[in-house]
Amino acid sequence: MLQTFILLLLQTAYVFGCGTPTVKPDTNRIVNGVDARPHSWPWQISLQVKHGSRYHHTCGGTLIGPRWVLTAGHCIWPGDVYRVVLGEHDMSQQEGTEQIRDILRIIVHPKWDIDHVANGNDLALLKLDKSPIMNDSVGVACLPEAAEILTHGTPCYISGWGNLYTHGPMPDKLQQALLPVVEHSVCSRSDWWGINVKSTMICAGGDIVAGCNGDSGGPLNCLGQDGRWYVQGVTSFVSSRVCNEVKKPTVFTRTSAFIDCILKNYENVMIYYIQIN
């Protein structure tokens, strides 16, 4: 009983401690992608797929609960074996801050369909085998309120180990780039993304400021008025021609459109977490 109570308190502490990195992200308005300050996006994870006996980075993702990672549906292929690396910054080095977790369960959005990307629902939830140790290099991002819509031009940051430029090499160090939000009415114009972008998506960038940085499944990080960082989007798709094409912003699954769905699964995870402990 006491144990359960303490764990509930711990859970609450995580929830209230969301979105407040010890190392503050560099929010100078640098337009092109740059190396992030190490561990300034402590909820950023590397999703890695097993090939032979080795694991390779395949997608980004966001830690949103002690055992709970949000990524894109298209990052998951049935039958593949994955792991999650937290506390990562420089992929080329063992920095001593990395924590590796296996995945206990993968929940891909039931309506995600790789053949109909424009329908949306590009979302997956990963349940880790055990909670990482929360410290200066690993922490959770905040989830937005259900149905919250950001105004046009809200400065958000994409983060990830994605390509530095079109067909460029993958950087070793975590990158970030400033991507202002493009409101739906603009993003869905026929000369922008047209009908390919749905109201359950959020667009950001689409100008010279749209770096190529970041990668699938990773977060669109936006600072809330309360000073906490929220994961407002999950990177879904970019223009296949070039990364920073004018009028072709990066398109994200809009987290706030899926809050109920996420929380429903999250509560199941919380109950599980309390029981096994």
Ligand X SMILES: *[C@@H]1O[C@H](CO)[C@@H](O)[C@H](O)[C@H]1NC(C)=O
Binding site for ligand X (CB under 6 A): 87, 96-97, 99, 133, 135-137
E strand intervals along 72-217: 82-86, 99-108, 124-128, 155-160, 175-182, 201-204
Q: What residue type is 54 in one-letter code?
A: R
Active-site annotation holds for 51: no
How many Cα atoms within 13 Å fall on the side-chain side of residue 160?
Answer: 30
Shortest Å distance, C-beta 8 to ligand X: 23
One of 39, 40, 74, 89 is an active-site residue; which one?
Answer: 74
Q: Name the residue nearer to ligand X (CB basis): 58 or 131.
A: 131
Active-site annotation holds for 74: yes
Rounded to a whole number, what is the distance in angstroms from the first to the last CA of the chain? 11
Q: Name the residue nearer to ligand X (CB basis): 137 or 176.
A: 137
For the chain, what's the residue count? 277
E strand intervals along the chain: 34-35, 44-51, 54-65, 68-71, 82-86, 99-108, 124-128, 155-160, 175-182, 201-204, 219-223, 229-237, 250-254
- What is the DSSP secondary structure assignment for residue 73, as one 8-state letter? G
One of 46, 131, 137, 216 is an active-site residue; which one?
Answer: 216
Q: Name the residue nearer to ligand X (CB basis): 58 or 99.
A: 99
Using Cβ positions, the residue closest to ligand X within the complex turns out to be: 137
Shortest Å distance, C-beta 18 to ligand X: 17
Rounded to whole angstroms, the Cα distance separating 265 from 126 reads 10
Partners of 35 in the β-ladder = 175
Active-site annotation holds for 256: no
One of 39, 40, 109, 122 is an active-site residue; which one?
Answer: 122
Shortest Å distance, C-beta 133 to ligand X: 4
Q: Name the residue nearer to ligand X (CB basis): 97 or 166.
A: 97
Give the catalytic positions in this structure. 74, 122, 216
